Structure formats: C-alpha cells, structure tokens
Structure 1
Amino acid sequence: MPDASSDVTTSPYFRLEHEMLRDQLARFINEEVKPHGEKWEQEGKVPRETLKKMGDNGFLGIHYPEEFGGSELDTIATAVYAEELGKSTFGGFAITPLVHTDMSSVHILNAGSQEQKERFLPDVIAGNRIGAIGLTEPRAGSDLKGIGTKAKKVDGGWVVNGSKIFITNGVYGDFVCALVKTGDADEKPTRAATMLIIEKEFDGFSVAQKLNKQGWRCSDTAELVFEDCFVPDENVIGEPGRGFYAAMQNLQNERIVIGAMAMGEAQAAIDITLEWVKQRQAFGGVLWDKQTIRQRLAMQQAKVEAGRQLVYHAAWKVANGQDAVKDVSMLKALCGELVNEVLYDCVQFHGGSGYIEETPINRMFRDVRVQSIGGGATEVMLEEVAKRM
C-alpha cells in the first residue's frame, strides 16, 4: 500500500489504504454480492466460490501478517471492512466472512503456535478453509464461565464431549475454534477452559441441526455436537487452561466489527429510504415534502454519523495500543440499539411496502434484530460501561 501521510482523506482516522479498501469492497459487493444475495437467502448459505473470490481479492487477510498472505493493516481497516460488508444489505452475507476473519481464525493468529499459523492461516486468508467460533452453548451465552462442554486429557490429545449452539459457519465451515472446559469442578472458571481447533473431519464431530433464523438467512447457523471427539495436542491454541483469556482477548475486536457492520447497515437503510420518500407520492406531493419525515431521517443520519465516529475512535485507540474496553462496550451497546431504531423508522416510512418480505428494507429489519444480542447483549455491555464510570 502507498504511503498516504500527505494525502487528504475523508477522516483524520483514515489513510489512503483505508479509502482504497473501502472503494474496492464497495465495487466487489456491487458486482459479486447484491446481484446474487436473494438467491443465497433462499439457499441458506453464501457460496464457497464467493468466499474464495474474497480471498483472491485480499479481503480475508486484511489484518493478517504478510508472511501468510495477508495485508497487515490495522484495526481501522477492519472497521472499514465490516462497515462496507454491512452496507451490502445482506446481513447473512456480511456476518459469514466476519466470523471467519475476526471471530474465529483470529484466535490462531493471536495465540496459536507457529506451526498452527503455517498450517491454517494461508488457507484461511485464501478462502480455502472457513472457520467458526464455538463459544455459546444451550446453557451458556454471554456468561462464558458457564460452559459445560468438557475435554478430558488422554495420550496425545483430548477427548471432547458436549455441544455448541448458534454457531455461524457451523454447517458449511471447515473447523471451529471451540472453548471447552478442561479443569476440575473446584478450579477457578477462568483457569479451567482451553481453546481447541476442532476440524470437521474429526471423528465424533457432527452437525446436530441447521437452525432456522428470523434473519441472517444466507448465513448458516448450527448446533454442533461432540461425542468422544478426539482432538490432538497440536490443535490446542495457546496454553491449556488459558482459553478463557484467549476468548476475552478478542472480544474487543469482535465488538468493533459488529458495531461497524451495524452502522453500515443503518447507513444503507437510510440511503434506501431517502430514495423511496423522494419519489413516493402521497397527499399531493412526495413524502420528502413532509417535515416530520425529513426531520426524523435527518436525526437518524446524525445519530448514525455519531455512532460511526465512536467506532472509528475505538478502532483508532486499539490500533494505537490504548485501553478501549469502555469505548468498545459503549459502541457495541449504542450501535446495536441504534441500527434497530433506524430500521424501525425506515420500515415505517416505506408503509405497506416495508412489510413485504421481498423488499430489501424488510429483509434488513429482520437481520438487524440480532445486533443488540450477538457479541455481547446490550445489557451486558452497559454493565461493562457502568463499571468504568
């Protein structure tokens, strides 16, 4: 990437490579995603060839090291990436690569051995192998200390028994970075969990069911079951007993990308609705002529811009090695709620058309409901903020 220190960009947070990435992603989404997204919604998956094309274009290795085929960009680039994926208007498409690049495989990057990085990351970045993250269980969601999936140490590895639920990329992905309990019952929960790379071909690993969701319909979501599933020692990420800390380490990055994706969705919804109200005839004029509609859309635009700037600021702090836990918790809570508020208004301004499933605004309304839940529910995030006030 060229040095952009003297170039004028659209924000003080951006360099030329961030602007170039945004343009490249927007072009790819217009050409490779929007024309096919409705078909993917019906099929319930994003085609592997599309993910492979993303790899070919360098989109799956934005913050990964160059030695494995990545671009080695910063957290701000990751936020731009997530925001543009959100603008695709297909939340199920957007979350599929985001889980792969920023919630699953990133654990191998952060804590994996050199051998693991060499074995997995080139294929991850190329789109040849797709990853999932296995944290949530039927009885453990935001509270990861409550996980019940267990791994028993045996000669040469671990035997895993238990299940994971709501796992994006769980049906069609190739491996899952799963948090499992490896300590005794009386051991501190934070010292009793280990992160394992469980590959789809391992005996005892099965997809119990593909889950039918309200939204994100072109992303595959699974319940996974492990029955005496043997995982070799070389698939332990980091140190045994340190998995809880590995999971916590990446939550800041995960929440930044979810917030950025939400603001991309909100901006796309406003753009679609603005076009609609400027041509929709009602009461002798167009809806845009009605002061209430103009002003409500203007206020939503102001809020979205504020949300975006909070995302960029948090990403900038992370990129510069600063503590951003409070900022990230605020943006996750704010953006998750805001995107739902924006879509409510956008459906309202579409009238009856906004209630028809074939319309993009209705699809987006379904998709964004999960944004205040996944990656840390709003209530959990606000408690994190409150602790630091």
Structure 2
Amino acid sequence: MELLDESLVPESARTAKREARAFARDYIEPNAERHFDDGTYPTAVVDAASDAGFVGIEIGEEYGGRGASLLESLAITEEFFRADAGIGMAIRGRSFGANILERYGTERQKRTLLPPIASGEEFAGMAISEPETGSDLAGMTTAAERDGGEWVIDGEKYWIGNGIDADWILVYAKTGSDSEDRHGNHSLFVVPTDEPGYTAEHIPEKIGMRASQQAHIEFDDCRVPEANLVGEEGAGFRTVAEFFDHGRVSTSGHGLGIAAAALEETWDFVEQREEFGRPVGDFQSVQHDLADARTEFESARALTWRAAERVEGSEEATDWAAMAKTKATETAVECTETGMCLHGGRGVLNERRISRLYRDARLPIIYEGVNEIQRDLIYRNT
C-alpha cells in the first residue's frame, strides 16, 4: 500500500517529494536499523543528504540554499520520517536556527553563518529548553548580561539538537526582569560552540530516534560579542513563538511519516501472518482496527497539508499549526499502538520495525510544545 501519495501535495512540492523518496530509499532505509540499534549519528547519510541539497533546504538561494517553501519542506519531511525518524531528525536538524537567523539576523550574520550551513561545511543548533523548563518559553532562566561590548551567558539548556558537534548554537536567554511583561524578557544570541564557558555532554540511551543527537549544555561565564545578538533585545519570545508555527507543521510531518510507516508495515504483516489456517487480515476485528487507523491517518494528513498552506500564506495561522501538530503526532502514537497490537508477540522484538516506530512516536508529541500546550493555543486562537 502507498499512504504518502501525491494527491494532497501541491504541484510545486511534488518534485521535492519525489527526490526525497528516492533519497530515503537509497540512503535512509538501508541504514535505519543499524543506527537505531547502536545509537550512532549517521554521518555518512547526513553528508549524502547535504550533497543532495537536503540540508538547510529553506535557506535562501542568495545564501547558498535552495530556498524551499514550507510545502516543499513538509513533502520532504514526511518521506524522510517514514524511512526513519532518527535519521530524518539528524538530516532536518542540521540547520536548526538557520531560519530565524535568516529572517532576523544582520546581513553580516547571514553572509557569514548561513552559506557554510547550506553547503554542509558546518552545522548549527538551537538551544531553548532547559532541565526544569520546556514548553514555558517565558519561564526560561538561562541569562545573558551586558559587560562592556560583550554578553555574558550563564545557565543550562537541555535536549539540544547538535549541542556537541554544531559549529554554532542559537541560544535563547533571559535579558530582562520586567514582571509586567514576561514575554519581553528574552533574546537570541549566536554562540560558537568553541567559546570558553560552553560545555556540552551527549544525552544517551533515548528510547526512540536514537540516530539523532541531543545534548545537555552548560554556560559558565560564556562571553560573546555584542554583535552576536540576533534581532532586537527583548524580542526573543515573540521571534521564537512566530517560528513555532513553521516548526509545528514540520513536526506534523514527523508524525505523518511515522504513522504511514506503522500502517504500511502492519498491513503487510497481517496479510502474511496466518492464524487458524488463514491470514490474520481476514479477521473482521483486524480489518476494523486498520480501517480506523487509516481513517485517522488520512484525517491527520489532510489537516496537516491545509495547515501548511495557511501558515505559508498567513501570519495568523497558529491555531491551524497547533491542530495539525496535535492530530498528526497523536495519530502516530495511535497507529504504532495498533501496529504493536496486531503484531502480537512479535511486536515486542527489537528486530521488528514496528517496535522502533512505537518508540519513535513518543517523541514528537513532546517537542515543539507538548500537545497540552497546543490545545491551549487552539482554544485561544479560535
């Protein structure tokens, strides 16, 4: 069966989708199980993706990227995450922070930092979450203070993609203390990872997406030039919140890819597995389980593509991005749970792909804001 068909994909994004599918087939799928099992970063696959133009795809052509639209990005994302969520995250995450820098950075920052990301010579990261704070952007405590012509950063960040190996990280830090405006107290800074006072350690042994890298970062009197401020001082919350709409659409693609893989894997299994002298797929209860899962998947995918079009064309689509993220990621969980159930005892074996998908599906419901936060946004913006 083929769930990620082109019928919902605008014509402008179909070439990117076909290219991504071919790349996923040739590079991601053959390496997925190995990198999940040993938890190693898929350097060779990411390098191949960079050579093929899949790293930093949304970076503008003037800075060496392909200037992909959000729709093209979503088309690529759902294909990569169907092939493997961990490797998909490693590829898509290599340019974390680049979109914000391109929109709000100075021309000098963009000319210096973006071309090496687009070419694959360097890669970046974005540091928002902290050990004690995740979805509460206004509650982050990592602080940056002026000292002459420098900013001095102190604090911790957690679950930071590429925090160890990136060349620079876009750091979200507190720069004010106005109790009347909690949303105006944070700013963004480019922090090279080789600066004194920057230390990072790998977070090992995640249950899912094991091919991707996340780090625990500590800033101890970490100094960066005043010129490393991105955008206006105090505008960090609003800047990050705006780009979460794009991030939520992307995360919806993560969920769709995982859900599609789970359904396709399970559909094949029940047709091949026999019980009581006939294929498991002949039993009506199994057919109903898969019919329900297919219905939820198609609903989630239709909502996601509609949300993508609205976010691409409007600055007021937060409710649509939040609905898509919630529906797509929760559908991934439901589809993988159905798949585990229908695989029976085989589903708990590490060697079975459905067990990897089951674990991968637990992550997207958390990042880019837990789904409880998404429901708040849906209500407030309706």
User: TM (normalized to structure 1)?
Assistant: 0.93
Cα distance, 1:136 vs. partner? 0.5
- The structure 2 residue matched to 1:157, chosen from 123, 142, 150, is 150
CA distance in 2, matches of 1:154, 1:74: 40
- The structure 2 residue matched to 1:11, chosen from 7, 14, 32, is 7
SS at match of 2:29: coil
Q: Does 1:297 align with 2:293?
A: no
Most deviating of 77-86 and 57-66: 57-66
Where structure 2 has 5 or more consecutive residues not aligned to the other structure, the ranges are none
The answer to whether the 8 Å contact 2:8/2:305 transfers is no
Cα distance, 1:277 vs. partner? 0.8
Most deviating of 320-329 and 153-162: 320-329
Q: Which amino acid aligns with 1:14?
A: P
SS at match of 1:11: coil
The answer to whether the 8 Å contact 1:99/1:133 transfers is no
Q: Does 1:171 align with 2:164?
A: yes
Q: Does 1:130 align with 2:108?
A: no
The answer to whether the 8 Å contact 2:126/2:169 transfers is yes
Where structure 1 has 5 or more consecutive residues not aligned to the other structure, the ranges are 1-8
CA distance in 1, matches of 2:94, 2:103: 14
Structure 2 match to 1:38: 33
Cα distance, 1:302 vs. partner? 1.7
Structure 2 match to 1:22: 17
CA distance in 2, matches of 1:125, 1:280: 46
CA distance in 1, matches of 2:141, 2:211: 29
The answer to whether the 8 Å contact 2:9/2:75 transfers is no
Structure 1 match to 2:60: 65
Superposed, 1:80-229 pairs within 5 Å as 80-88=75-83, 90-101=84-95, 103-184=96-177, 186=179, 188-229=181-222
Q: Which amino acid aligns with 2:7?
A: S
SS at match of 1:166: strand
Structure 2 match to 1:239: 232
The answer to whether the 8 Å contact 1:139/1:146 transfers is no
SS at match of 1:36: helix
Q: Which amino acid aligns with 1:50?
A: V
CA displacement, residues 183-206 of structure 1 (integer Å, 9 cap, x when unaligned):
136462222111011111111100
Q: Which amino acid aligns with 1:11?
A: S
Cα distance, 1:369 vs. partner? 0.7
Superposed, 1:242-257 pairs within 5 Å as 242-257=235-250
The answer to whether the 8 Å contact 2:202/2:213 transfers is no
Cα distance, 1:72 vs. partner? 1.9
Structure 2 match to 1:374: 367
Superposed, 1:220-369 pairs within 5 Å as 220-321=213-314, 323-369=316-362
SS at match of 1:369: coil
CA distance in 2, matches of 1:284, 1:376: 47
- Cα 1:48/1:118, change in 2 over 3 Å: farther
CA displacement, residues 279-328 of structure 1 (integer Å, 9 cap, x when unaligned):
11111101111111112112211211111111111111122235211111
The answer to whether the 8 Å contact 2:144/2:173 transfers is yes
Most deviating of 264-273 and 291-300: 291-300
The answer to whether the 8 Å contact 2:280/2:286 transfers is yes
The answer to whether the 8 Å contact 1:26/1:84 transfers is yes
Cα distance, 1:344 vs. partner? 0.2
Q: Which amino acid aligns with 2:360?
A: D
SS at match of 1:371: coil
CA distance in 2, matches of 1:285, 1:42: 33
CA distance in 2, matches of 1:178, 1:359: 38
Cα distance, 1:174 vs. partner? 2.3
CA displacement, residues 243-298 of structure 1 (integer Å, 9 cap, x when unaligned):
11111111000000001111111011111111111111111101111111112112
Q: Which amino acid aligns with 1:289?
A: D
CA displacement, residues 337-370 of structure 1 (integer Å, 9 cap, x when unaligned):
1110110000111111110112111011011112
Cα distance, 1:209 vs. partner? 4.4
CA distance in 2, matches of 1:363, 1:315: 27
CA displacement, residues 164-222 of structure 1 (integer Å, 9 cap, x when unaligned):
01112223322211100111364622221110111111111001443431211111111
- Cα 1:383/1:189, change in 2 over 3 Å: same
CA distance in 2, matches of 1:306, 1:368: 18
CA distance in 2, matches of 1:324, 1:143: 20
CA distance in 1, matches of 2:233, 2:358: 42
The answer to whether the 8 Å contact 1:175/1:200 transfers is yes
CA distance in 2, matches of 1:151, 1:323: 31
CA distance in 2, matches of 1:369, 1:68: 35
The answer to whether the 8 Å contact 1:98/1:257 transfers is no
CA distance in 2, matches of 1:286, 1:66: 52
CA distance in 1, matches of 2:212, 2:300: 25
CA distance in 1, matches of 2:79, 2:211: 17
Most deviating of 120-129 and 250-259: 120-129
Structure 2 match to 1:3: none
The answer to whether the 8 Å contact 2:41/2:212 transfers is yes
User: TM (normalized to structure 2)?
Assistant: 0.94
- Cα 1:78/1:209, change in 2 over 3 Å: closer
The answer to whether the 8 Å contact 1:259/1:311 transfers is yes
